[in-house]
Structure 1
């Protein structure tokens, strides 16, 4: 059996949708597969999305299982249920591990710059000729994951393939024209209901030699300004409790910007090495918005030290 799973820390809408929709496709093709995760969905898997009824499955490991990883390629962050020597496919859009998996899996490693891993799964449905059989739930999940990961098509990594995939999937998932605003507002309501839990549910700890802040949280909401007005003090206190080098990338869909919140001076200096930023009371604004994976790519491409004057 193929076990379709993702990362260990949390399950966002892209990973959630990819696990469920890819398992559905494989089963239609006569390949036994299950969508499985040890991690809990974060706020991007909204109440309405959960209400669609597409769920992850129970899993009892056997020695014959093979593993397919979606929306993750850093093997240090794989779901703990994964046996590394039985990984047979990796589908991801995060940079950093392309060469490793190309050597391990060859063509079975599909890691490339694209807005959403959900678009890669959609392309597998179309390539297999099964798109007419996709369930309404899987179509809606993949479409919503594309919305989220492309920042409603305003993100810098958005491609024509993402736009085309959404155009195909949205009607199959019965999504209405006002779904994007409804979705992001619903995510914001969930985030604000427990801001600390939301921070914990989308937080990554970077490697010690990273050019990015060591503790890196990210949240996507409809209105970042309103959230900061209501919760900035709580966010500062909670993030400070995670370490003395931290960043929150708060993405505002309505305003097409990222509010970078980084109170420690060392964190501000790291970011200013990568981008031209104007800091005011621990906040800098990026227009257009940028995702964590885009900042990670910048850090991987940057020189390790500032050039001397």
Structure 2
């Protein structure tokens, strides 16, 4: 049995979609597979997405299980059910562990700079000639994951492959033309309904050699200005409770910017090594918007200099 899973802390829409859609493809190809996760979906898996009832499956460990990791390649953050020596495939777009997996898995490690891991899963469906048999549910999930991870195609890592994949998947899923705006507004409403849970559900901790603040949260909303106007004090208090070196990246889809919120001066200085930033109190604006993985790449590149 192939177990398709992702990270330990949370499932964002990219991981969620990839697990479901890749397990479906493997089963269509006659390869027994299950989408499994110990983590809960974060706010990027919006209420409408949840209403599509894409189900993860129960899992009882078996000695001969093989694990496929999607949207994650850092083995420090794998779902705890994963047996590292039994990982047979990795599909990811986050930097840092390409060489490690290339040495272990060869071409079964597909880690590429691309907008969404969902695009890589889409390509597997395309290569198998089975797009016409993909469920509308999987098509909608993959399309939405591409929307989210490319920041509605404004993100700097967006490629033509992402754009083409979305077009074909949106047609397959019969998604409405206004789905992107509806989706991001839903995500923002879910975040504001339980702000602390949303922060916790998309927070990563980095080591000092990453050249990033050690506590790094991220959220994607339609209107960052509105969210920060209403909730900045609550956000800062909660983030300060997670450590004295922190950053929140609030990505604003409607106006294509990132609002970097970092009260500690040391955190601001860390970021100043990566980008030419102008801080106003605890805030710096980046246009076009940037994802956490893009900032991570800048930090890794700084180590290589």
Interval containing the TM-score (normalised by the shorter chain): over 0.9
| Structure 1 counterpart of 2:128 | 128
Residues 1:230 and 1:142: Cα distance change in structure 2 (over 3 Å):
same
- The alpha carbon displacement at 1:174 in A equals 1.4
Q: Any conservation in 2 of the 1:221–1:253 contact (CA below 8 Å)? A: yes
Q: Who is 1:54 aligned against? A: 54
8 Å CA contact retained: 1:8, 1:78:
yes
1:201 and 2:201 correspond: yes
Q: How does 1:110-259 map to 2 (within 5 A)?
A: 110-259=110-259
The CA distance in 2 between the partners of 1:13 and 1:232, in whole Å, is 25
Partner residue in 1 for 2:5: 5
Equivalent pair of 1:136/1:173 in contact (CA under 8 Å): yes
Measure, in 1, the Cα distance between the counterparts of 2:173 and 2:78.
29
CA distance in 2, matches of 1:188, 1:23: 29
Cα deviation for residue 290 of structure 1 reads 0.2
Mapped pair 1:290 → 2:290: yes
SS at match of 1:219: strand
Is the CA contact 1:217–1:247 (under 8 Å) kept in the aligned structure 2?
yes
Tell me by how many angstroms 1:303 deviates.
Answer: 4.6
Please say if residues 205 and 216 of structure 1, whose CA atoms lie closer than 8 Å, have aligned partners that are also in contact. yes
1:118-172 Cα distance to aligned partner (Å, 9 max, x none) = 0000000000010000000000000000000000000000000000000000011
Cα contact 1:211–1:304 (8 A) shared by 2: no
User: Hey, what's the Cα distance between the residues in 2 that align with 1:282 and 1:155?
Assistant: 23
Question: Aligned-pair distance for 1:221?
Answer: 0.2
Distance 1:113 1:210 in 2: 18
Aligned length: 305
TM-aligned CA deviation for residue 208 of structure 1: 3.0
Which position in structure 2 is the counterpart of 1:264? 264
* Contact 1:89/1:105 (8 A) holds in 2: yes
Query: What is the CA distance between 1:55 and its match in structure 2?
Result: 1.2
Rounded Cα–Cα distance in structure 1 between residues aligned with 2:86 and 2:95? 22
Distance 1:231 1:196 in 2: 11
CA contact (8 A) 1:252 1:289 kept: yes
Which has the higher mean CA deviation after the structures are superposed, 34-43 or 51-60? 51-60
Deviations 1:265-286 (A, max 9, x none): 0000000110000000100000
Q: Distance in 1 between matches of 2:59 and 2:304?
A: 43
What TM-score, normalized to structure 2? Answer: 0.99
State the secondary structure of the residue aligned to 1:274: coil
State the match for 1:108 in structure 2.
108
Displacement after TM superposition at 1:207 (Å):
1.3
Q: Distance in 1 between matches of 2:104 and 2:11?
A: 25
Q: What does the per-residue CA deviation read over 1:1-33, in whole Å, with 9 as the maximum and x for residues that have no partner? A: 000000001000000000000000000000000
Residues 31-55 of structure 1, C-alpha deviation per residue, up to 9 Å, x if partnerless? 0000000000000000000101211
Q: Which runs of 5+ in 2 are unaligned?
A: none
> Displaced runs of 4+ in structure 1, greater than 2 A?
none
> Does the aligned pair in 2 maintain the 1:19–1:35 contact within 8 Å?
yes
User: Is 2:299 the partner of 1:299?
Assistant: yes
How many Å separate the matches in 2 of 1:141 and 1:5?
A: 15
- 1:17 maps to 17
